[in-house]
Structure 1
Amino acid sequence: MSVHRRKNRLFEPAMVREALGQSFAKLNPTVQFRNPVMFTVWVGTMVMIGVCIWIASGETSQGSLVYNIIITVLLFITLLFANFAEAIAEARGKAQADSLRKAREETPAKKILSGDVYSNEVRVIPSSQLRKGDLFLCEAGDVIPMDGEIIEGIATIDESAITGESAPVIRESGGDKSSVTGGTKVLSDRIKVRVTTEPGETFLDKMIALVEGASRQKTPNEIALTILLAAFTLVFIIVCVTLKPFADYANTPITIAAFISLFVCLIPTTIGGLLSAIGIAGMDRALRANVITKSGKAVETAGDLDTILLDKTGTITIGNRKATNFYPANGVDEKEFIEMVSLSSLADETPEGKSIGELASSKGVKPVVNKTGMRFINFTAETRSSGVDLPDGAKIRKGAFDAIRDMVKRNGNPI
């Protein structure tokens, strides 16, 4: 979607606050149960809380209260760390959807007011206030605020963010080329559009639904690793339990805090705590590269790809065509050629037209503009050309190949 998106830092204050709140919410045993490793740590934490209460009530065989409180706090921090890692990864994914939603709400729309009170008055409102059947106006440089159908006018529109096509397309009223999509950009001319979708049904809304609907399905590798970690956890539970009879036989008392501390150190706590966060982070990383993955399995599959075949160059590029070099014909002075091309592009507000001026400036050529007697011809979707009429009667034109060819033929010149 061709909207500006602020790059999110890993630990933005708002994101951290949300993740901290989720870290405590995820202490719910029904949530912890999905991760067998961290669930055993949660059980150990609950046991230690009970031991602390037991010692506070007078028990003396389990060590000092301060020692047991320290063990309990460390276990609690371990749980919060695992929850926080998962929550911060989830928050980043939600931030992407929020940025898309904010862009939809903040895109200005030039709504055309009609009726007994208004006479085609134009009022700028947020795009979120548009409803099906409303009319709005779009001019060169405007972002189309809502999906709709052109009822008047013709315009060149940059749809590269949606279709991946780098070349601008022409949309006009009537026929099968009258539909426009919210989020695309008008490059030239002026159009009047009727909204054809209700709020929540636009292309941008479907994009948001895709981002928010990305499910956290476990990948085959993640499932296998979870089973392995659960097996290790079961083994170490047996190891710790068998220590009790050996300790009694050796007449060596071992406190409950010592058993739980040993168990947590033996099990793969770090891997178990970060396993979910790793999967979510993979989906978020793909999303930051403008790739929507609907599951963790898709991320894992993407890691196995060696070659990707794409049908449109704009899918992996910025989408705007750009001038990269000047090629004058034989016998034409290069500097004079660049000056003429630059002059004919001054009235072209499309990205392609602007890039010609930038390329000329990089070569140290700036056209001499004498507005007295000069008449600039703006680029339009209908003519697909721009230019300037000089005071001496000379006419310079620049545009699409077929448009210039037809122009030359109309003036009786051979090709």
Structure 2
Amino acid sequence: MAELPVELYARIFRLVGANDLTSLSRVTQAFQTEAEHLLYQSVALSKVSESSRLLSWCNAVADCERRAARVNTLRFPTYFKLSPQETSADSIQTSIARAFKAMVNLKALYVESAERGVEFHPSLRPSTFENCEFRLVELLGNLPGFTVDEVWTLLSSQPDICYWVPGTGFTMSLDVSSFPPDILPQLRDLLFIRPELTKHLASRPIRRLSWLFYREEPEKISLPQAIGIAQSTIPDLQLFRDTLSELYIMNTLGKDFSAVEVVALVARYAPTLRIFTICSRGSDCAIPANEHPQLVQAISSFQDLDTLLLEVDMPVLHLPNDTCIAPDGPLEQDPFWSGLSPVQCRQIATSLMVSCPSLRTISFPLQNPSGISKNPCYSRTANGEAKLVGFDLVDTSSWWMK
């Protein structure tokens, strides 16, 4: 195998696991180069909570400039747990800092962990980033070892960040007045669980935005207050009117802030969106059949909308329709449609496409009487009508669900 062209064995290496790559790296120098490139370019340590394993990896990177330089993407645990023979977290955190200083080409840092408790310690501290040469482009996760001001200091030192998902703990502790005006000048992709803070990022070239509307602290804020915050937040979309092209809204505020109302407000303040997803699951979030005309009217206000995902229960999709299935629509004969009307669903999709001439793709969730759920996806035909092209949910969330 060592005699194979580099391009061929490099392709083979991409098909094997980490253990095999580790073994291959010991065969020849050429194999080592390619194997280490794959092993260290994107590293997933977020499930490593034992301090001994974390220490071993950090030392392997800190002690080898070649390996450290290969690390581009790093998933790091939020916390680590000391082994029984260890009494202090300082030495582990010092080794972590050495590793971070060595990773001069680090671009994406995702800090995430499922485990925590009194015996766990924050993996990262402000001192971890001192004298680091890397320039982050993506940052996600909680930094429990930081104060709010220390997070601002970190973000100020990383002006190239264009993708940011702040941790829940940090976001919930923010005071509106504490938001500095000069951070994240290149921010393009953002997920916020407190959407009302987005206005503090005006002037950034935000192109993709994900919001979660929910009751932050039910014991402190009433549902009407939460709805009022959401209603007053959507107009902030006009701050990014020149750059925003994609919006994902998860709305859990129920029928008192309906999906139709959300769509109408978004269309008013961000009419040039190209991709829009509204997700409101649950029977109290459903769009009643008698509100479908209002939905069509709201969609008609978009000027450039290309892709629409309505992840909302829509009873109008379940109404009967005895019109014959079109002969050029074999997917409408799929067994999934037993008890449903594929023609009714197609006509609903067509009504939305007719209302918005720029709309080319529509998808919505649907469950048949047997309890099987699929996501009918429709594309615009030459005559402007909708045609069923598959049952796969259009991906509009992978950019923030990394």
TM-score, normalization by structure 1: 0.20
By relative contact order (CA 8 Å, sep 6+), the higher-ranking structure is: 1
* TM-score normalized by the length of structure 2: 0.21
Higher helix fraction (1 or 2): 1
